């Protein structure tokens, strides 16, 4: 087993290193008949479950990164679009599901005439060898569409987003419909998961779990030795918690870092390290302020509420939503700044 490496990079390093040889512009491959995606061995039929395949979009020269769109047109005013996205990852980190969901939330609101809050749900798919974790949401939104008279016309849709940790691959499902109910969209998601083989995709390239994940530190922790060492301690604590509390078939496909207890344990170890070594180094004023505030949060039993706010609700903590307002007031009363919400590290595997 190798020791983990601790690296300093800007966090976007991981999220932008998906593919080499990207096309300058996405290309519609204009496939007729069945389309066989060779890297994953998935067959996308021209007709599937009442849907007609509309596009096969390729984002790279080897047609590895693709988006497949299916359309069900019941009438002029009743249309459902189902899109499946597949691409390999050079890196996979513990924030990947969260980052993907949050990025979609941001883009969705940029294309809407009103605020949309998509609330996450969490699920998993399993067989006897692998377990795939995913985050999804079913929500109502107003989508901007070109209109001859108005320029942009906003149309209400019922929509779905689902993102899966599939080892060395990312699998996403998006859907929007004029008439489908929440239950019908959920049924469509389940059917697509099964038919297009999410678990099979996850089996193509599993994670190297016999190796210790590497640690990526944000540039801001370099302000002093305490911040570097305490943050590294937090990252190592998370690695240990995930290894001890998740099934092997689960960590083969991803970090599944949506369980709030792993983050609680990580923060507790970080604060413990600070208390133990507070006198060992000269400490930057920002570092002292950060730990003073984190200790107030911990001592008042508000770590889970802090984590829920820090991750914009993208963590499995059902009570979090009902405690949001009270936690905001707690922060005012106890003089807790927004600096406590900064994310200082990621743990990751390099897959290529």
Residues 194-215 have pLDDT tens digits of 999 999 999 999 999 999 999 9
Least Cα distance to 347 among 273, 243, 193, 268 occurs for 243
Write down the residue that tokens 């999220």 correspond to.
15
Q: What is the value of pTM for the model shown? A: 0.90
Q: Look at residue 274 and tell me whether its pLDDT is greater than 80.
A: yes
Report all structural domains of the chain as residue ranges with CATH numbers, in order of start: 11-204 (3.40.1000), 214-350 (no CATH)
Tokens standing for residue 176: 């929007």
In this prediction, residue 114 carries a pLDDT of: 78
Q: Look at residue 279 and tell me whether its pLDDT is greater than 50.
A: yes
Q: Look at residue 131 and tell me whether its pLDDT is greater than 80.
A: yes
The proportion of the chain whose per-residue pLDDT surpasses 70, expressed as a percent, equals 91
In this prediction, residue 312 carries a pLDDT of: 94
Neighbours of 261 (CB within 10 A): 13
DSSP category for residue 119: P
| Residue pLDDT, tens place only, 212-263 | 999 999 999 999 999 999 999 999 999 999 999 999 999 999 999 999 999 9
Q: Look at residue 20 and tell me whether its pLDDT is greater than 50.
A: no
Q: Classify burial at 271, counting beta carbons within 10 Å of its beta carbon; exposed 0-12, middle 13-18, buried 19 or more.
A: buried
CA distance to 131, 234, 252, per residue, from 242 (Å) = 14, 12, 12
Q: Say if residues 88 and 19 touch (Cβ distance below 8 Å).
A: yes
pLDDT band for 8, please (50, 70, 90 cuts): low
Q: Say if residues 319 and 186 touch (Cβ distance below 8 Å).
A: no
- Dihedral angle of Cα 272, 273, 275, 278, to the nearest 10 degrees: -170
Mean pLDDT confidence for 154-160: 87
Mean pLDDT confidence for 33-43: 97
In this prediction, residue 2 carries a pLDDT of: 47
Who contacts 77 (Cβ-Cβ below 8 Å, separation ≥6)? 178
User: What is the CA angle 174-35-69, rounded to 5?
Assistant: 20
Q: Say if residues 232 and 195 touch (Cβ distance below 8 Å).
A: no
pLDDT band for 147, please (50, 70, 90 cuts): low
The average confidence (pLDDT) of the chain is 91
Mean pLDDT confidence for 274-283: 94
């Amino acid at each position: 087993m190798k020791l983990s490496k601790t690296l300093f990079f800007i966090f976007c390093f991981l999220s932008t290193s998906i593919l080499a040889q990207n096309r300058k512009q996405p290309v519609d491959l204009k496939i007729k008949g069945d389309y066989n995606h060779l890297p994953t061995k998935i067959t996308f039929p021209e007709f599937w479950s009442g849907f007609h395949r509309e596009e096969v979009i390729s984002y790279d020269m080897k047609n590895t990164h693709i988006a497949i769109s299916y359309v069900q047109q019941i009438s002029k005013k009743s249309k459902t679009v189902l899109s499946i996205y597949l691409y390999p990852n050079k890196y996979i980190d513990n924030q990947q599901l969260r980052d993907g969901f949050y990025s979609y939330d941001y883009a969705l609101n940029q294309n809407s005439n009103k605020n949309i809050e998509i609330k996450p749900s969490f699920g998993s798919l399993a067989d006897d060898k692998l377990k795939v974790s995913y985050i999804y949401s079913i929500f109502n939104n107003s989508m901007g569409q070109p209109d001859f008279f108005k320029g942009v016309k906003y149309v209400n849709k019922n929509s779905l987003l689902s993102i899966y940790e599939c080892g060395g691959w990312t699998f996403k499902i998006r859907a929007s419909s004029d008439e489908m109910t929440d239950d019908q969209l959920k049924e469509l998601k389940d059917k697509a998961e099964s038919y297009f083989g999410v678990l099979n995709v996850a089996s193509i390239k599993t994670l190297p779990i016999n190796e210790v994940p590497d640690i990526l530190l944000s540039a801001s922790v370099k302000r002093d030795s305490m911040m570097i060492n305490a943050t590294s301690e937090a990252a190592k604590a998370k690695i240990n918690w995930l290894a001890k509390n998740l099934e092997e078939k689960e960590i083969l496909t991803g970090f599944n870092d949506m369980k709030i207890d792993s983050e609680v344990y990580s923060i507790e170890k970080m604060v413990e390290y600070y208390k133990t070594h507070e006198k060992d180094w000269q400490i930057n004023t920002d570092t002292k302020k950060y730990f003073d505030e984190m200790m107030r949060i911990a001592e008042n039993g508000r770590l889970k509420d802090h984590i829920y706010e820090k991750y914009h609700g993208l963590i499995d903590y059902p009570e979090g939503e009902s405690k949001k307002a009270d936690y905001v007031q707690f922060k005012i009363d106890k003089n807790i700044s927004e600096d406590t919400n900064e994310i200082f590290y990621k743990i990751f595997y390099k897959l290529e």
